[in-house]
Amino acid sequence: MKKLNFLGFPIALLYGLGMQLRNMLFKSGILYSNSIPLPSIGVGNLSVGGTGKSVVIMYLLELLSERKKVGVLSRGYKRITKGVLQADKDSSAATIGDEPYQFYKAYPGIDVVVAEKRQEGVRHFQESLPSVEVLLLDDVYQHQYVTPSLMVLTTSFDAPFYRDFLLPVGNLREPRNGKSRADIILVTKCPRGIDAKQKQEILNAIKPASHQKVYFTTIKYSEWIQNETEKKHLKSFLTAPFVLVTGIANAAPLVSYLHELGLEFEHLAFQDHHLFSKKEAAEIAKKSKERFILTTQKDYHRLLLNWKSTQIYYLPIQMQFLFAEEEQQFKHQIASVM
């Protein structure tokens, strides 16, 4: 969680009042929200990033794509294009955004559409992609002009929404009571050793409503690193130092994990969703010399835009439930909207 900007409290107060008014207008029906005319699952958060939304989308794609024709709708944050755009063979992380491109590359059989206005994106699925049976909406929590069948709210273990503050003091996009719109609340990036007492303390702080379910998840790192041409065991990095390049909201869990493995590396950190320029790619190449580059799956596709190198690898990750019974309950809720 970022250091609090106490000078921003007056701005945060005004911002919070504006968001409360907006939420009230939607709740009262003055601003109208359209139900999506097919089974749909929204994933979002109350903060500006770092809660693992894309990992949740990947989990849902793995769960659903073998049995259903799945579509993904996203804004395509920091893409260089505008309007409604459907992913195709000519798409890149620059044209549709790093996360939508990651989904498209990982699951070639799905349809991926990006649109700033989600209602326009939904309309595109209705008119141009009628074969889609279930729609996943990425980063949709504040886009209340559309209402998914099921809404999943993500909040990270280390920076939960109930300890955060509104922008620009903290990282919240809207007041904490916005949690009420969620059907499921996922506490993400939990340590594996969480005990019953810690779990109950978090539940007490979240105060879920009777219709809400809270589940606890963690990050599962692959034992393998890969690129477009090869795959090798992560332990192969134990033999020599390497360079870690990240452009994500919170790289701390990854850095901590690699240190726990006893790996030696230099970390080059960039802002979330950073589009690497040719100059930056050249500087990274110069700094790495003969060393391998390790990065995240999102960053990998952005790095390749200006640097075609076989020495770049990414480390795949997955969402994993801490408790098996919670995963079964989660899957049951997902199945209930199909």
What's the confidence (pLDDT) of residue 308? 78
What's the confidence (pLDDT) of residue 3? 60
Domains of the chain, start order: 31-220+320-336 (3.40.50.300), 223-315 (3.40.50)
Give the chain's residues under pLDDT 50.
none
Rounded to the nearest 10 degrees, the angle between the axes of helix 53-64 and helix 324-336 is: 70
What's the confidence (pLDDT) of residue 50? 85
How many CB atoms are closer than 10 A to CB 99?
27
What's the confidence (pLDDT) of residue 2? 55
Q: What tokens does 305 get?
A: 């835009």
DSSP per residue, 80-112: S--S-EE--TT--HHHH-HHHHHHHHH-TTSEE
Rounded distance, CA 314 to CA 227, Å?
6
Give pLDDT tens digits for 44-94: 999 998 899 999 999 999 999 999 999 999 999 999 999 999 999 999 999
What's the confidence (pLDDT) of residue 311? 87
Q: The pTM is what?
A: 0.94
Cα distance between the two ends of the chain: 36
